[in-house]
Amino acid sequence: MIRYDLCCESGHGFEGWFRDSSAFEGQQEAGHLACPQCGTASVMRALMAPAVVKRGGEQRPDDGAGVPDVMMAALQKLRRAVETGCEDMGDAFAREALKIEAGEAERRGIYGRMTDAERDMLDEAGVDFVSVPWVRRADG
C-alpha cells in the first residue's frame, strides 16, 4: 500500500491509501475518489514542489493555441488546484524548494518560476519537482 497526499479542485487536502499507483489512477479516472470535505470527484495528487513557467527562451505562449480542449480544461483545473493548495514563491521558488528538501523549511506545496541554472541545481540536490504548463485561467 502507498499513501498519497491528495487535493481536490478547491484545494482541500487529504490522504488516501492505494495498492499501487495504477490503482490510484484507475480510481481517479473512474471518478471514485471524492473529497471528504466537499465531495467533488475532481481529485488529484497534491504536488509537493511544482515548478511552473520557465523564464526565457522556451516559454510558450500561454493562450493555449493548438492545445486540445480536454487537455486545456485539465491544465486549467491543475492551475486552480496549484494556486489554491500551494504557496506562490515567485522567483524564490528554487531557494525555498532546496530549504524544504534540506528540512530547513516546512514541507508544503509551493510553486513559482525558476531558471535553467536553478533547475540544474535542484536536479543535483535530488529535489522532486514537476513542470506545469501554465495556461490561462478558465475565468479569463
Binding interface with Zn ion (CB under 5 A): 8, 10, 12, 35, 37-38
CB 44 within 8 A of CB 81: yes
The set of residues, in sequence order, having a beta carbon less than 8 Å from that of 42 and lying 6+ positions away, is: 8, 9, 35, 77
CB 98 within 8 A of CB 127: yes
Question: Which residue lies nearer to Zn ion by CB, 28 or 114?
Answer: 28
Nearest approach, Cβ of 34 to Zn ion (angstroms)? Answer: 9
Nearest approach, Cβ of 8 to Zn ion (angstroms)? Answer: 3
Nearest approach, Cβ of 37 to Zn ion (angstroms)? Answer: 4
Question: Which residue lies nearer to Zn ion by CB, 7 or 100?
Answer: 7
CA distance 124 to 126: 5
Nearest approach, Cβ of 86 to Zn ion (angstroms)? Answer: 15
Question: Which residue lies nearer to Zn ion by CB, 39 or 61?
Answer: 39
Q: Note the helical H segments in the chain.
A: 21-29, 69-85, 93-101, 116-125
